[in-house]
A and B are shown apart, each in its own frame.
Chain A
């Protein structure tokens, strides 16, 4: 089955700097890669996703890149703000041989943005 590795587990940046979180996956059949943000005590919420026919996607200060050959994808946050502080999860859509598959999550990255 699918296995998703996420690095780093914690990341501390100064306000205004950029933050990069990287994930690798094992199943070459995976074709959907979302990123979720979870604030303390709240539910994970989708912030951006990318599909395997696209190499890069951007939404304001957030961008995601995908390298299918190397089986890795990354989240880039530019001009970080204190409200970006949260735990970020990457995920990959596994395939179970006929159904819609399921999302396998990385272990998460705790991002702290210092004012």
Chain B
């Protein structure tokens, strides 16, 4: 099991550019979560999917942020246009949502720097 795979590990871009973060969840997991981590705000849930369907996107900060999950093995988080305040570590996580609660498995994160 390779775990949750995120790419890229690091992204440096200029303000106004489009940024796309990618995530491959653990095979068999049917829930996928995007979190943002900063020193000031800690770990914030941006959006999560259940069986590829977005369930709660209330954490998405602005319309500049969008997320998709076209199939069970791939998700993207896009920021367009990017701004310096978007600089953070973005984590993708997955779990299996059945009748009980299963642990959340995090990817290694993407460190985004917007200059």
Contacts and interface: CB of A to CB of B under 8 A. Distances in A.
Contacts of B43: 44, 89, 105, 108
A108 B44 CA distance: 12
Interface residues on B, range: 10 to 19
A107 B42 CA distance: 5
A43 B91 contact: yes
Interface of B: 31, 33, 42-43, 45, 48, 50, 55-56, 91, 97, 101, 103-109
Contacts of B33: 102-103
Given A46-B103, A51-B101, A89-B43, 20 more contacts: A31-B101, A43-B106, A43-B108, A44-B43, A44-B106, A46-B104, A89-B42, A96-B56, A99-B50, A99-B56, A100-B97, A100-B101, A102-B33, A102-B45, A102-B56, A103-B45, A105-B43, A105-B45, A106-B42, A108-B42
Interface residues of A, number: 22
Interface of A: 31-32, 34, 42-46, 49, 51, 89, 93, 96, 99-100, 102-108
